[in-house]
Chain A
Amino acid sequence: MRIVILTKPVPDPASGGERLLPDGRLDRANSAAVVNGNDEYVLEKALKLVAAAGEGEVILLSMAPANAPETMRKALAMGATRGVLLTDTALEGSCTWATTRVLAAALKTIDFDLVFAGVDTSDGGAGVVPAGIAALNGLPYLSYAAEIEPDASARTVRVRRISSTGYDVLEAGMPALISGTQALGEPRYPSLKGIMAARAKEITTLSLADLGIDPSTVGSAAATTRLVGSTPPPARAATRVIRETADVAAGEIVAFLADRRLI
């Protein structure tokens, strides 16, 4: 079982340091990068599936700045086998469409049975790249997975896709691309042994030239979308703190709701 994990270093959402540069790109220097939260859930699932299969590897694929190996090491310490870093200064400022094309091309250089991606990322949050890669590469796309059950002998995979009233059971042939959620289960912490082992694990680098992609078709200049302005959100009204008995406090809430025409 060979599983590729599409993973992205994101600014730590808990750092409070997420901000944009004047040109609209992410200011990566202002907050520490971490592995995107949803990517850790699919990585955990992939590690369990490969362990259960008794053979195979978990390969990280990331399109990121050249310093991304620092973040990738944590995922390697959790147990991923090796990493592939797609990096090129021409990629700076790429839109989701360019990201989709470049990752789709990189994926074609790797042999795999399954590709997993987090359902979205905490920085952009668009969640549209995995579906696009699947469409470009002709892979079945199974999204919002709460459970992933491959059948290696039948070369099929079943996914429980979360719906608004429960879930749908989907099935497709392998290879397939699956986006997963937190419902897949809690990711493990890297062990000391894992951290030591990660230092020796291989991270190979791919450039646009390696993929035969013209640099002028990606990056800021070729982006399909453009930031024209940004503002902080309007300040919320000051908080009214109520320290009264339950009945009085409830009465205050009811009055507030009535005033806002919510009841």
Chain B
Amino acid sequence: MGSLLVVGELAPDGTLTKLSTEVATLARALGASAGASAGSTAGSAAGSTAGSAAGASAGSAAGSAVGGILPAAGADAAAAELARFLPSVVLEAGATADANASQRAAVIAAALDGISHVLLPASPDGRDLAGALSALTGWGVLSNATGTEPSDDGPVVEQSVFGGKLITRSVFSGDHGIITVRPNTVTAEPLAAPGAVTTRQTPPVTSIAQVRVVDHIEAEGAAVSIDDARIIVAGGRGVGGPDGFGLLQDLAMALGGAVGATRAAVDSGWIPYSQQIGQTGKIVKPQLYLAMGISGAIQHKVGMQTAEAIVAVNRDPDAPLADFADIYVVGDLFDVGRALLEQLRTRSG
């Protein structure tokens, strides 16, 4: 393997996303162990803690060099944050924050000297970038990685396919590749000492088709993002209406999590589409998935079954979730939810 390049990304408020720091941590573990014999897996379905191992050995002479790039002019604070997780970060001022994927991909493609693999967040922006970058470079893409490990054939990328029914391991045929990494694959671990940030200004590629950002709209009462939430409290048809989601919101607040939903709840207009989990929504892997009034039909299951812990509350003792939750409470979600909220609040004093 040559050097690894991590592409950081910004949240709408201009801060670095948590997922960017996880990708950086995973890349460090992959780079550090690349020179050594294969064996230590950076993140896996079994939930390893490769992050801390990476922190100790990052920058070791035996492995591959790992660096970062943030294609977002003026994002100095976010670049400094990314450098807490990577020994070197380039703030690419040739790409404005509003640049589209093709424009930013062109700027990244100009920075690939000596790079063998690019790692990106498996977010909407990361996927757009990965597709455009693949087209510009001819490099293959392995998407939605749930773990990586080095091998003689380069990185082995673990993916969860068919809605979690199968775990595959794949490699790139050539010496280069692009990997997008799912949230919560590893726990982000900063370096002992932050890396260096340099600013570069690659001239923008003017031949690329332009997309203008006309407006940024904050949704009314915007919900906490479920993308990389550690804890998700999700509701389905059983919640009964937007008022019912108030209790789920309170539970999420008490647990430090985000509120998710099934398609039925979204279609009923009780909660925005951005919170939908499942086949045509998002795929999440939180540490805790608290399912309230959710049956767990296949279309929803594919979005959440790799959660580390699943707790469900449902009246129906025979719902599909009763077969794969860790704890399945047969009962009324409001009665149990209110009792749970009270005990959580008592606990935290």
Q: Which residues of A contact B (CB under 8 A)?
A: 13-14, 16, 18-20, 24, 37-38, 41, 95-97, 100, 104, 120, 122-136, 138-144, 146, 158, 160, 162-173, 176, 181-183, 186, 223-234, 236-237, 239-244, 246-247, 249-254, 256-257, 260, 262-263
Q: How many residues of B are in contact with the other chain, CB < 8 A?
A: 104
Closest 5 CB pairs of A and B: A224-B140, A131-B131, A128-B131, A250-B339, A166-B219
- Cβ contact within 8 Å between B326 and A263: no
Cβ of B209: which chain A residues have Cβ within 8 Å of it? 134, 138-141, 172-173, 176
| Contact in complex: B326, A237 (CB < 8 Å) | yes
Whose C-beta in chain A lies nearest to the C-beta of B169?
A229
Report how far A120 CA is from B282 CA in the complex, Å.
Answer: 11
24 A-B residue pairings within 8 Å (CB atoms): A14-B298, A120-B127, A127-B143, A131-B101, A131-B128, A140-B210, A141-B102, A160-B217, A162-B124, A162-B274, A170-B100, A182-B276, A182-B281, A223-B140, A224-B140, A227-B169, A227-B170, A233-B165, A239-B326, A242-B330, A243-B329, A252-B329, A260-B287, A262-B288
**Is A166 a contact of B330 with CB atoms below 8 Å?**
no
Residues of B contacting A: mostly: mixed
Query: Can you list, as one digit per residue, whether each of B306-336 has a CB less than 8 Å from chain A (1) or not (0)?
Result: 1001110100010000111111111110011
Judge whether B132 and A135 touch: CB under 8 Å.
yes
- Within B40-61, which residues are at the interface with A (CB < 8 Å)? 45-46
Asked whether, in the complex, the Cβ of B339 is within 8 Å of the Cβ of A247, the reply is: yes
Q: B102-137: which have CB < 8 Å to A? A: 102, 105, 124, 127-132, 134-136
CB distance from B63 to the nearest CB of A (A): 21
Q: Is the CB of B328 within 8 A of A225?
A: no
| Contact in complex: B131, A227 (CB < 8 Å) | no
Neighbour of B167 across the interface among A128, A167, A233, A257, CB < 8 A: A233
> Considering the chains assembled together, what is the distance between the CA atoms of A256 and B310 in angstroms?
11
- State the CA gap A137–B326 with chains docked (Å): 49
Q: Which of B133-175 contact A (CB under 8 A)?
A: 134-136, 138-144, 153, 156, 160-174
A126 B144 Cβ-Cβ under 8 A: yes
Partner among B127, B131, B288 whose Cβ is within 8 Å of the Cβ of A135: B131
| Chain A residues whose C-beta falls within 8 Å of the C-beta of B274 in the assembled complex | 162, 164
Scan B255-269; emit 1 where CB is below 8 A from any A CB, else 0: 100000001000100
